[in-house]
Amino acid sequence: MNLLKSRTDINYQPTKPVGGNRVSNTFYDVDALKGVLADLSKAKTKIQFENFLFNGEHGEAIADALIAKHNQGVKVQVLLDGTMQKRDGEVLAKKLRAEGIEVNYFSAKSMNAPSLETPYSVQHSKLVVVDDELAWVGGVNFDSEINRDMMTRIEGPAVRDLQKTFEEGWMHAGGKVLPVKSKIEPKGDVWVGVSQTGPKEQSTRPQVLSELKRIGKGDAVDIWMMDLGDPLVLDALEDAHERGAQIRVVVDLKVPFTSGKPTDAVVKAIAGGVPDLPGIRRLQALGVEVRAYVPPEGITKLHSKVWLFTHDVGKPEESHRVIGGTVNAIKGAYEFNHEVGVLFYGEGVGDDVQAAFEEDFTKNSAPIPALNKWDRFKSNIVEFFNNSLI
**CATH level 2 (architecture), domain 196-388:** 2-Layer Sandwich (3.30)
SS3 216: coil
pLDDT tens digit string along 164-202? 999 999 998 999 999 998 889 999 999 999 999 987 788
Query: Residue 232 pLDDT > 80, yes or no?
Result: yes
pLDDT recorded at residue 113: 59
pLDDT recorded at residue 67: 98
pLDDT tens digit string along 76-116? 999 999 989 999 999 999 999 999 999 999 877 667 655 55
Q: Cβ of 36: how many Cβ atoms within 10 Å? A: 23
pLDDT band at 313 (very low <50, low <70, confident <90, very high): low
pLDDT recorded at residue 150: 98
Per cent of the chain over pLDDT 90 is 72
- Asked which of 10-24, 55-69, 129-143 is least confident by mean pLDDT, the reply is 10-24
Query: Residue 136 pLDDT > 60, yes or no?
Result: yes
Q: Report the C-alpha gap between 19 and 47 in whole angstroms.
A: 24
- Identify whether the C-beta of residue 272 lies closer than 8 Å to the C-beta of residue 368: no
- Identify whether the C-beta of residue 282 lies closer than 8 Å to the C-beta of residue 356: no
Measured over the CA atoms of residue 368, residue 374, residue 380 and residue 385, the dihedral's sign is negative
Q: Distance between the two ends of the chain, CA-based, in angstroms? A: 13
- List C-alpha distances in Å: 246 to 173, 291, 312, 346, 378: 43, 15, 11, 22, 28
Q: Which has more confidence, 337 or 347?
A: 337
Per cent of the chain over pLDDT 70 is 90
pLDDT recorded at residue 318: 62
What would the mean pLDDT of 255-263 be, rounded to a whole number?
68
- List C-alpha distances in Å: 13 to 207, 242, 294, 321: 7, 22, 36, 16
Query: Residue 118 pLDDT > 90, yes or no?
Result: no
pLDDT band at 147 (very low <50, low <70, confident <90, very high): very high
What would the mean pLDDT of 126-142 be, rounded to a whole number?
97
What would the mean pLDDT of 257-262 be, rounded to a whole number?
66
What would the mean pLDDT of 342-353 be, rounded to a whole number?
93
CB neighbours of 204 closer than 8 A, spacing ≥ 6?
195, 196, 197, 325, 327, 333, 334, 339, 340, 341
Burial of 115 (0-12, 13-18, 19+ CB in 10 A): exposed
Rounded to 5 degrees, what are φ and ψ at 142?
A: -95, 95
Query: Residue 268 pLDDT > 80, yes or no?
Result: no
Q: Mean pLDDT across the chain, nearest whole number?
A: 90
**CATH level 2 (architecture), domain 20-174:** 2-Layer Sandwich (3.30)
Where do the H-state alpha helices sit in the chain?
3-6, 29-41, 56-71, 82-87, 91-98, 158-172, 204-214, 231-242, 264-271, 277-286, 316-319, 331-335, 351-362, 373-388
* Beta-bridge mates of residue 333: none
- Identify whether the C-beta of residue 107 lies closer than 8 Å to the C-beta of residue 32: no
Query: Residue 117 pLDDT > 60, yes or no?
Result: no
pLDDT recorded at residue 259: 61
pLDDT band at 327 (very low <50, low <70, confident <90, very high): very high
Query: Residue 265 pLDDT > 80, yes or no?
Result: no
Residues making up the chain, counted from first to last: 390
Tell me where in the chain the CATH 3.30.870.10 domain(s) lie.
20-174, 196-388
- Asked which of 25-29, 300-304, 311-315, 351-355 is least confident by mean pLDDT, the reply is 311-315
Query: Residue 26 pLDDT > 70, yes or no?
Result: yes
Query: Residue 5 pLDDT > 70, yes or no?
Result: no
Query: Residue 345 pLDDT > 80, yes or no?
Result: yes
- Based on its alpha-carbon atoms, the radius of gyration of the chain, rounded to whole angstroms, reads 20
* Beta-bridge mates of residue 23: 154
Query: Measuring CA to CA, which residue among 336, 332, 324, 383 is closest to residue 135?
Result: 324
Query: Residue 390 pLDDT > 50, yes or no?
Result: no
- List C-alpha distances in Å: 312 to 321, 323, 361: 12, 18, 21
pLDDT tens digit string along 272-296? 787 899 899 999 999 999 999 999 9
Q: Report the C-alpha gap between 237 and 252 in whole angstroms.
A: 19
pTM of the full structure? 0.93
